[in-house]
A = this chain, B = another copy of it.
Amino acid sequence: MAEPGVEILCVGTELLLGDILNGNARWIAQRLASLGLPHYRQTVVGDNRERLAMAAREAATRSRVLITTGGLGPTPDDLTTESLAAAFDTPLREHPDLWEEIQAKLSSGGRPVAPSNRRQAFLPEGAEVLPNPLGSAPGMIWSPQPGFTILTFPGVPSEMRAMFQETAEPWLQSQGGATGVFVSRVLRFSGIGESNLAEQVADLFEGANPTVAPYASLGDVKLRLTASASSADKAEALLDPLEAELRQRTGALCYGRDDDSLASVVLKQLKSHRQTLAVAESCTGGGIGAALTAVPGSSASFIGGVIAYSNAVKQRQLGVPSDQLERCGAVSDEVARAMAEGVRERLETDWGLAVTGIAGPGGGTSEKPVGLVHVAVAGPDGCEAAALRFGERRGRGAIQQLTQIRALDLLRLRLLVQS
């Protein structure tokens, strides 16, 4: 089942030990997607001759192009070139001009030339050099059998990226195989689970071009819309009506697109109304403020807030009445409201957002279990509060994160409907 696709093979024991994230695979995947080249598989193997050769032979039965990263350096661990040659029973041949170039590069960089660097000038017979403008390790373009081409790149991300853009991309485009251009958009949703969202738009999953696919991470559900066409403009034109249809069906559940975050959307809403915001955070301890401050330019609307982790701070810095704390408990609609109103008044903002809850693992009771959080939004039209239950099992970090997400979403919805 040879497919006209591209595969990525990343070589490095450090990947198998989990010492580093495979950022090279992700970067190449993004490039292939934007070039419109179908890419169906990524593989990682260690610095091992047999496993590397086996992975390359397997790819030759499936794909048209194999892109490798890593294993091109001068050390005994660097085995990619010789393993690929062995995989296809091809002898290595020295390229004297390449050896000259390697020596010149090392010398001009002030680095000593080691005898082991000479290994880097050997390529399989029939291979062409893929120049490395930044480092000494060259790559190659080689077709060991008809209809199957290998492109090798070093593992150092900056060198790999420069080589890929300067030499591999023009080659990949000139070779054809690209089925036009792929363009993707991501729509982001809050306040709905992945399965419920999927059911609302299930009929749209059937489309072949553009396609719609759901995915989810903690507290965040997304739909990816992808179109392929002969040009980016034509692909965008395929996506526009689909996005409009999805937005129309999902209404306020869709909070943004692509790189939007709930924080960036809320800040945009505030800015367009020339309004300001302050936060009062108990169980999140500053996480909502940090999410807002992560957005460049947030100072236009976000003024600051109070981290009211202890009850004393809730009383003194936010004016929460002590009898209310005693009567209702710190985790209650009443105290959340008093915090939101208190921070709004004291910091003189248009909006106050407050959270108080039990993030666990301790502090829960049967009446007020771990995972119970009260959120309040105080604004020009009054104050509203809501109780959220995230369940005891999720763990402290997830409860804090979900609190932050739901609180920002409640504020977003209030800002949407303000008169």
Contacts and interface: CB of A to CB of B under 8 A. Distances in A.
Contact of A40 (B16, B75, B112): B16
Contacts of A22: 21-22, 25-26, 42
Contacts of A31: 18
Interface in A120-158: 133-134, 156-158
B297 A362 contact: yes
A45 B63 CA distance: 13
A3 to B, nearest CB: 9
A111 B195 CA distance: 10
B304 A308 contact: yes
B289 A293 contact: no
Interface stretch (A90-98, A214-222, A227-235, A242-250): A214-222
A158 B218 contact: yes
A199 B116 contact: yes
Nearest to A217: B156
Interface stretch (A319-327, A374-382, A387-395): A387-395
A109 interface: yes
A281 B286 contact: yes
Given A285-B289, A290-B287, A30 B17 contact: yes
A329 interface: no
Interface in A143-185: 156-158, 162, 184
Interface string A284-324: 11111110111011110011111111101100110000000
Nearest to A314: B304
Interface stretch (A7-15, A80-88, A411-419): A7-15
Q: Which of A18, A21, A33, A112 is most buried by chain B, counting CB atoms within 10 A of its CB?
A: A18
A409 interface: no
A366 interface: no
Contacts of A361: 296
Interface string A63-77: 000000000011111
A297 B362 CA distance: 8
Q: How many copies does the complex hold?
A: 2
Q: Which of A299, A302, A360, A396 is most buried by chain B, counting CB atoms within 10 A of its CB?
A: A299
Contacts of A400: 290, 293-294
Interface in A350-403: 359-362, 388-391, 393-398, 400
B18 A110 contact: no
A117 interface: yes
A190 to B, nearest CB: 14
B18 A30 contact: yes
Top 9 A-B residue pairs of the complex, sorted by shortest distance between their CB atoms:
A285-B293, A286-B286, A286-B289, A18-B29, A18-B30, A42-B44, A304-B313, A287-B290, A74-B195
28 contacts: A14-B224, A18-B27, A22-B22, A41-B45, A42-B43, A58-B58, A74-B195, A109-B390, A110-B388, A114-B195, A115-B199, A134-B395, A278-B313, A281-B286, A285-B294, A286-B288, A289-B290, A289-B309, A294-B396, A294-B397, A296-B361, A296-B362, A297-B362, A299-B309, A304-B309, A306-B306, A312-B347, A317-B347
Given A76-B202, A114-B199, 5 more contacts: A41-B55, A73-B194, A109-B389, A114-B193, A285-B304
